[in-house]
């Protein structure tokens, strides 16, 4: 039996093969998952309907299963209309999830076009496509080392 909250068989299979520095993208419902991915990435669709499942729900499950070194969010370019609103509210949900998981990690934004480039890395092994409708909700996780 699994000891963590992540029970999706395909996601567990992919992360079971992953190593240090591998990257997992948890994508919102607007992310172009079929075209913006690394050459080694598999896409798992969890987008049941608009708003289901969310990125933060998926993030909590993934955080329960694997060690994480870095958490990057898709940063908003200054010339984007949304930039006037400040940080997306969903980012605070991610901070809460990290804190609940006992991880002293900070969200590190990568501007949109550089984020796409980061996802295009050969280290990108998995995109989990959600149905999240929150704007700027994409999260790129870099796996750490298992300590025990």
Residues of the chain with pLDDT below 70 are 1, 148
User: What integer pLDDT is reported at residue 1 of this predicted model?
Assistant: 56
pLDDT, tens only, 48-85: 999 999 999 999 999 999 999 999 999 999 999 999 99
All structural domains of the chain: 9-143 (3.40.1650.10)
CA distance 36 to 66: 23
CA distance 87 to 82: 9
């Amino acid at each position: 039996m699994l000891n963590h909250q992540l029970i999706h068989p395909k996601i567990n299979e992919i992360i079971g093969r992953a190593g240090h520095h591998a990257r997992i993208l948890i994508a919102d419902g607007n992310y172009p998952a079929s075209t913006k991915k690394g050459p080694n990435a598999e896409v798992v669709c969890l987008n049941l309907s608009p708003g289901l499942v969310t990125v933060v729900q998926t993030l909590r499950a993934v955080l329960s299963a694997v060690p994480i070194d870095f958490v990057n969010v898709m940063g908003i370019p200054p010339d984007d209309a949304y930039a006037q609103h400040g940080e997306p509210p969903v980012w605070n949900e991610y901070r809460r999830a990290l804190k609940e998981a006992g991880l002293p990690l900070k969200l590190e934004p990568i501007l949109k076009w550089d984020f796409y480039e980061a996802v295009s890395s050969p280290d990108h092994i998995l995109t989990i496509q959600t149905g999240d409708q929150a704007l700027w909700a994409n999260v790129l996780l870099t796996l750490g080392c298992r300590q025990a």
